[in-house]
Amino acid sequence: MTTNVPFLLRPSSKDYLWGGSRLNDDFNLNLDSDPLAEAWVCSTHPDGPSYTTSGKELTEVLKVHPEYLGTHSLSLTDGKGELPILIKFIDAKNDLSVQVHPDDEYAKINENGSRGKTEVWYVLDAKKDSNIIYGFGRDVDKETVRKSLETNKITKLLSRVPVHKNDIYLINPGTVHAIGSGCLIAEIQESSNVTYRLYDYDRTDKNGNKRELHIDKALDVATLKSSATPRQPMRVIKYRSGYATELLSRCKYFIVERMLLNTENRILAEYKTDSNSFHSLLITDGCGSIGWEGCAGGSLNFFKGDCIFIPADSVPLTLHGRAQILDVSC
């Protein structure tokens, strides 16, 4: 692999009981899990690493080339040479559990030094009546929540928000939340797999077992005051030669932009990462190619569902095609 040029990633998969088949049907990922709930498309997390097309774990690549991460990304991981973020596709055929994530401080103390989890959802598709759970509809206390769990009435306390294709939601630690059925989501999050399930609809897995709940820890970290209904941020489109971009979300851990690539006018889109951070390009629609010149010149084709890893301080690149892309950096 030549230094500082893009390469494609292949995902790990998760067969959680609420998943469906759209990640294979819509994105042609050819993953074996059934149901196929999640595809971890850009990850160095040990619970689900991504791989290069040659079969090497992304983790191993970054151990050899920590400079691929960039100066800011390395600072987020204390120089460990691992990704500070995780990017995944989620197919919610059925409702996900009602859950909450801790912040970094709580997770570090209570989860063996793990990170907490701040996450962003970008809605790739949603059925007409799809919704998400986002916090509580009114102020509650721990006793009220415990009683509602005992009587299976927790959902009456929660706030439901209708969702639509192209919506964006920032889920901060402490926000009780759940993705509702019929949602197809791209999620960008801290590199963490710490989730506290508060309620799971008394469902059982294929072996007839209920999934573990984490009520005490969930109530330790949950925000119990009513949550304001999340509003869609105002987006400003910036036009460049061959493509346009709009900022979807920015926090201390990651930046997410949507790129609308269209080079039908034969003007290629120029692209380059700086020394601050790697970029991951998640292809959510369309197809195209990315190329570079010089003695190590080359190109690769990309299609809907692909994830391209571009090292920090990359060689000058050109993009060609018609596609919608999530451009994620730190």
- Nearest CA to 328 out of 255, 273, 245 is that of 255
Q: Which residue has the tokens 């003695």?
A: 295
Burial bucket for residue 201 (CB in 10 Å: 0-12, 13-18, 19+): middle
3-state secondary structure of 322: strand
Are the CB atoms for 310 and 278 separated by under 8 Å?
Answer: yes
Integer CA distances (angstroms), 217 to 97, 142, 169, 186, 276, in order: 15, 11, 24, 27, 36
Cα four-point dihedral sign 73, 242, 7, 285: positive
- 16: its two tokens: 């959680």
And the tokens for 224? Answer: 């119990």
User: What one-letter code names the amino acid at 91?
Assistant: D
Q: Which of 10, 22, 115, 197 is catalytic?
A: 197
Cross-strand bridge partners of residue 171: 119
Listing DSSP states for 161-220 in one string gives EE--TT-EEEE-TT--EEEPTTEEEEEEEES----EEEE-TT-B-TTSPBPP--HHHHHH
| Cis status, amide bond into 35, omega within 30 of 0 | yes
Q: How far is CA 132 from the centre of its chain?
A: 16
Confirm whether 10 is a catalytic residue: no
- Which of the residues are catalytic? 197
